[in-house]
Structure 1
Amino acid sequence: MPRHQPGNSLRVARELYLEATNDPSARPLVVASWQRSIEYKVKSGSLDAPYLDNPNLDSPLARAALPILNRLHEQLADDPVSTMITDRNGVVLSRKVSHDGLTTHLNRVRLAPGHVFAERYVGTNGIGTALASGRPVVIAGSQHYVEELREFHCAAVPILHPTRSTLLGAFNLTTIRQGSDGMLMAFARSVAAQIEAEIAAITSRRERALFQDYMEACSSVRPGPVLALNGDGVMMNEQLRAAVTGPDHYALLDHAREIADDRRWEGTRSIALPSGRVAELRVSRCRRGDSDAGAILRVRLIGRSQRGLAVSATPARPVLGLAGSSPQWLRSVADSEAAFLTGTWLQLLGEAGVGKRTLVEALHRAHGAGRRLEMAEAPLSDAPAVTERWLHDIGELLAMPSRVLVLRDVHVLGDQLRQRLRNLLTHLDRTATGQLVMTSQPSMVSTEDQLDQFCGATVEVPPLRHRYGDIEHLARFFLRKYRPSGESTFSPDALALLQQCPWPENVRQFESVIRGLARRSSGRMIHVEDLPPECRVSSHKVLTTIEALERDAILRGLMARNSNVQRTAQDLGISRATMYRKMRRYGIVPSSLA
């Protein structure tokens, strides 16, 4: 196929499509997909479908679809047709095929569970194009963008959530049989409708079960504040609504969502709220057989609101040079400092960008006299020679009592290397070693992980979205850092927007924003219109986990594309109109964006 320079990508896409397919009808939906494939710089001469380990088979879509695919597999025995279900990102979750010849063809192009068939990787194809366009599609033969896929005929139908109409994934039929496009599409639509109906039934059963347990909790002799939630909704009684308001309300919901997402967690947990109060959460799961319908949280509030003090308080432990005075942050600093002072091995848990490394460096500056701070990360390769050298270096560093070794991001270590690291730590003489600090992301740490048994203390560093009271402290801290001679400050409206932003990349992102403002803004007062797009989130709508991920993806895209809505929409595989609709939905203010 001749190569064209992508000037007008739509014209180029149409020309390439006509050359490849000799199809004068040039369906707009397929041509638009070819246009996106060109803009993604997909190579038509080679197939690159990335592989994702352990695709999520515990999603509502997978639970609803897999029994249906199993029944279809029996009905289609020996028929050269493959049935597949994918998630919203184009990851193949399950594939059923009973025809050996077709299996060979599919394996050759990696159209198999775990591989990603989004348009950005493999160009126009049934799965990716249905997900990108949000419409049922048939991609037949030469309409595929990548040449290796042109022997296939595919019909794919997007699968939507029955009540929220959000995209969950797609159902796909693939065959190498010619002239069966109409039959394929009719069959695919029918199966997709069955899957959506089953999702609706499961959702209804879950909601009824959660509502039943919620009402029982609310109707007890002394119910107190009660909260019930799952990925689809939130219920709270009037006692909770009246007792927890403002920033405390949003902080409590953030914590509750994270607790509800962990289906194995039950018991009591205490969290510090922005006002200075503590919320004691007694968590029980709503279960029916093998199904988990959500969590019921009985809430007890301890202490009095101290909002006035929290706003004006000077951050504790100024000797460490750390900004922030929220109870969650101060507790993390104090617990980490106590472990550091006694030489206790320490595990720091926290999302990317929350400041784990900054905290360790501050502790070392204040209390590490005579000891050298060393940073180590996971090896870049799992080649035996590389891992052997890495383990040797870790052992050498820990063998020196004058060292503080920070082993960063241990959650990325593979199982085999983790086992060898455990063996190394087990055989160390703990009376003559340096101090070890391990950092991890909490969502990546398995409950069966054994590395934490070597640490005498585990501290969780809170994400910035749980530190509402620290936004003003951090803003002033970073303004002084990047504009030391200036007197800049934020208008009340601008500061309020900063406090509402979800900050998916935490303090790292916040510092980057303030650094940019310090360089760009020439006036003493920074106003709302000076803020970049990732700060323009004006909605406190309670989001599901999927919605929060979608919102954060949009924010990151706008950051990477310098506020360009059109290019961000193309990167995400959605139309510009859909992009603006989602921005309004998530409170991302579209004014002044490209």
Structure 2
Amino acid sequence: MANPTDQRLRIAAARADFLSSGHAGDDAVSDVVAASWKRSISAGADLSEVEATYHNDLDTKSRLVRCSEPIIIRLREETADIPLSIALTDGKARILTRWDTDQLIGMMCDRVSFAGGFEYAETGVGTNGVGTVFESGGSIFVVGPEHIHERLQAFACAGAPIRDPLTRRVEGVLDISALTEHSSPLMHSLVRSAALDIERNLLIDRSQCQQALFETFVRFDTRTRNAVIAVGGSVVMANAMVQSLFDPSEQQSIHEHARYLMAQHDRPVDQIELLTGKVVRMRGARIVVGNDIAGLVLELRLISEAASMPAETGAFEDRTLPAVSGRCGGRGYESAASLRAPASPISQGHSPAWRRACDDITEALRYHDALLVMGEHGTGKFSLVAEIYHRVNPGGRSFAIDAADISCDSYVEAEEALKATTVPTLYIFRNIDNLSTDGVERLHAFLETLADIERPAYVAATLSEVNLDSDLPFHDLLIHFQRAVTVPPLRHRAEDLPALVTQVLTNIADRRGVRVSLAAMRVIRCYTWPRNFRQLDEALRAALLRRPVGELQPEDLPGYCHGSARRQLSGIESVERDAIVQALLDADGNRIQAAAALGIARSSLYRKLKSYGITTL
């Protein structure tokens, strides 16, 4: 057996050779450690200063912490005579808690920021018993000079992944650290055994949400012969019938629609048509535990194997009246004769949620029901209602009034048009959730007048669904509507994105034949589009300014398309993000060159890439 001191000297020599030549030597270190060294250098980790990022948004009362605590207490008691530090991290290598059996080891850990709230990913501190576990996917024992960071070489650390029993995803890492002179290979065995015990606790003590979802799925599955799925958080469950009836792409569409239904307020009952033509009826239960939505369990019934092809419809004239200057700072309206033909129709999407919304709007208009159209800003609520209305009533006209105009009493034109009209007319009241109390009273009076006269008039109103739980004045108007339809956001229409991009380019590129490369489309698919169509239109217009003809490339898209930051960026942060994206594009993705061009350390660049969610470059 090799002398530990001699072994550490060989590792130190291998580390020195690696830093000078890029090669770790033949057999001085394991393949896992050698690979970690290479990743650490490529990530730009500073080898002289510990640059662990601090986070103050950790969940220290999570299920993982609760299930780990008794195991760690037992481990601490069993190793009380050995100076150890026992740490638990979350799924992002951030230290949740740390227990010390000795004051000295605690002080040493504090000096290298191995403490609660700090992130110990490889990109910041190099090879270690936390970040390297995430990168390698397995347990590891790192001793002395195996830490590529100089200030960590006084330590030996053993880390093991803690996996969710259902998804097998790494939820966190358990780490045992000691000073090198107090270390033993038994630390590796201890940490692996303790991690397995924590996983058993996770299995026994599943969260109430997961337990409720699992129990409801089993109950549905045992009482029916139909296909059953359960969707909640990162968990997806399906019985054997799902596998036999639907191929993977169909299952993905069903899962996506299930998540859309889960976020709605009404009962989860729906019928969708998949791209393959299969018609599926869904009915089930939304699982709510306390204030949390645990998920959705759905029974799926295959109604039809054949595609129901939509009837061919000719082009129709969009008679939505555009706004012109009016009194009170509001807007008047032009006659229908001055309107132009519509741009490309937007109701031709294939995602189940979008098709469902189109079908519901069509049915409401055919039955002459007053229609409430809900959805996020920029989803195309107004355009979709107007387009479908003119398809249902080719000879009709539409009259749009914005909430701001109603409050300003500049919708008298609507009353005059109502008295004069003899053709079917749709009145679309936009953004009624923005109405003041006075505006609500005026619209209420108008809708009552509309209900009392025998005129061929239709009514629709749009609002943002985020205001449904508010106490805004518009709630007093809901008595005038018979149907409500929710238009899904762009992020729930992954199947439609290529066609939508082509459609937008057709409208704004003025017959130039501009197209989107596969690489640029991947960037578009990865982005969440929080402002929906408006932002997609804005992004493609910006891309056309960079490349007015030909094939749009990833570098032509605005900087925000390359990121997925989970928070709202300030103006300065947005400028910085765009500068980083441009530097990476100029360097063909080489992070070292990009950092040099930006004048920042490589470690700082990597932290910013993570903070801004830049993953496509």
Deviation at 1:126, TM superposition (A): 1.9
Secondary structure of 2:71 counterpart:
helix
Matched, 1:269 2:284: no
* Contact 2:91–2:171, Cα closer than 8 Å, also in 1: yes
RMSD after superposition: 6.4
* Contact 1:86–1:170, Cα closer than 8 Å, also in 2: yes
Q: Which residue of 2 aligns with 1:309?
A: 310
Runs of 5+ unmatched residues, structure 2:
1-13, 321-341, 362-372, 386-398, 410-434, 441-461, 476-483, 556-580, 595-615
Taking every aligned residue pair, what percent have the same amino acid on both sides?
24
Deviation at 1:270, TM superposition (A): 4.7
TM-score, with structure 2 as normaliser: 0.51
CA distance in 2, matches of 1:37, 1:97: 28
Q: Which residue of 2 aligns with 1:282?
A: 284
What amino acid is the match of 2:185? G
* Contact 2:288–2:294, Cα closer than 8 Å, also in 1: yes
**Structure 1 residues 271 and 131: alpha-carbon distance in aligned structure 2, compared to 1, 3 A threshold:** same
Matched, 1:86 2:85: no
Secondary structure of 2:54 counterpart:
coil
Deviation at 1:520, TM superposition (A): 8.2
Match of 1:252 among 251, 254, 257: 254
**Structure 1 residues 531 and 306: alpha-carbon distance in aligned structure 2, compared to 1, 3 A threshold:** farther
* Contact 2:156–2:180, Cα closer than 8 Å, also in 1: yes
- 1:122-164 CA-partner distances (Å, limit 9, x unpaired): 2232211222233433333454444544443322123445677
Deviation at 1:223, TM superposition (A): 7.2
Deviation at 1:81, TM superposition (A): 1.6
* Contact 1:283–1:295, Cα closer than 8 Å, also in 2: yes
CA distance in 1, matches of 2:553, 2:305: 34
Match of 1:477 among 503, 507, 518: 503
Q: Kindly report which structure 2 residues correspond to 1:63-142, keeping only aligned pairs within 5 A, or say none.
A: 64-77=67-80, 79-142=82-145
**Structure 1 residues 520 and 126: alpha-carbon distance in aligned structure 2, compared to 1, 3 A threshold:** same
What amino acid is the match of 1:308? M
TM-score, with structure 1 as normaliser: 0.53
CA distance in 1, matches of 2:353, 2:119: 39
- 1:371-394 CA-partner distances (Å, limit 9, x unpaired): 69xxxxxxxxxxxxxxxxxxxxxx
Deviation at 1:237, TM superposition (A): 6.9
**Structure 1 residues 359 and 142: alpha-carbon distance in aligned structure 2, compared to 1, 3 A threshold:** farther
What amino acid is the match of 2:268? R
CA distance in 2, matches of 1:34, 1:321: 56
**Structure 1 residues 208 and 158: alpha-carbon distance in aligned structure 2, compared to 1, 3 A threshold:** closer
* Contact 2:491–2:528, Cα closer than 8 Å, also in 1: no
- Higher deviation after alignment, 224-233 or 148-157: 224-233
- 1:220-242 CA-partner distances (Å, limit 9, x unpaired): 4x776643355454224749975
Matched, 1:486 2:480: no
* Contact 1:91–1:115, Cα closer than 8 Å, also in 2: yes
* Contact 2:120–2:130, Cα closer than 8 Å, also in 1: yes
CA distance in 1, matches of 2:468, 2:174: 39
What amino acid is the match of 1:180? S
Deviation at 1:120, TM superposition (A): 1.2
CA distance in 2, matches of 1:317, 1:240: 44
Deviation at 1:177, TM superposition (A): 5.8
Q: Kindly report which structure 2 residues correspond to 1:515-534, keeping only aligned pairs within 5 A, or say none.
A: none
Q: Kindly report which structure 2 residues correspond to 1:208-357, keeping only aligned pairs within 5 A, or say none.
A: 213-220=216-223, 226-229=228-231, 231-236=234-239, 238=241, 249-257=251-259, 268-270=267-269, 273=272, 281-285=283-287, 295-298=296-299, 307-309=308-310, 319=320, 324-325=346-347, 326=349, 328-329=353-354, 349=376, 355=378
Runs of 5+ unmatched residues, structure 1:
1-10, 336-345, 373-399, 403-427, 443-448, 534-557, 572-592
* Contact 2:141–2:156, Cα closer than 8 Å, also in 1: yes
Q: Which residue of 2 aligns with 1:156?
A: 159
* Contact 1:478–1:515, Cα closer than 8 Å, also in 2: no
* Contact 1:119–1:125, Cα closer than 8 Å, also in 2: yes
* Contact 1:171–1:192, Cα closer than 8 Å, also in 2: yes
- 1:487-510 CA-partner distances (Å, limit 9, x unpaired): 57899xx9xx989x9645356897
CA distance in 2, matches of 1:465, 1:25: 49
* Contact 1:18–1:26, Cα closer than 8 Å, also in 2: no
Secondary structure of 1:486 counterpart:
coil
Size of the aligned set, in residue pairs, is 442
Secondary structure of 1:51 counterpart:
coil
Q: Which has the larger radius of gyration?
A: 2
Q: Which residue of 1 aligns with 2:336?
A: none
* Contact 2:221–2:239, Cα closer than 8 Å, also in 1: no
What amino acid is the match of 1:476? T
Q: Kindly report which structure 2 residues correspond to 1:188-227, keeping only aligned pairs within 5 A, or say none.
A: 188-199=191-202, 213-220=216-223, 226-227=228-229
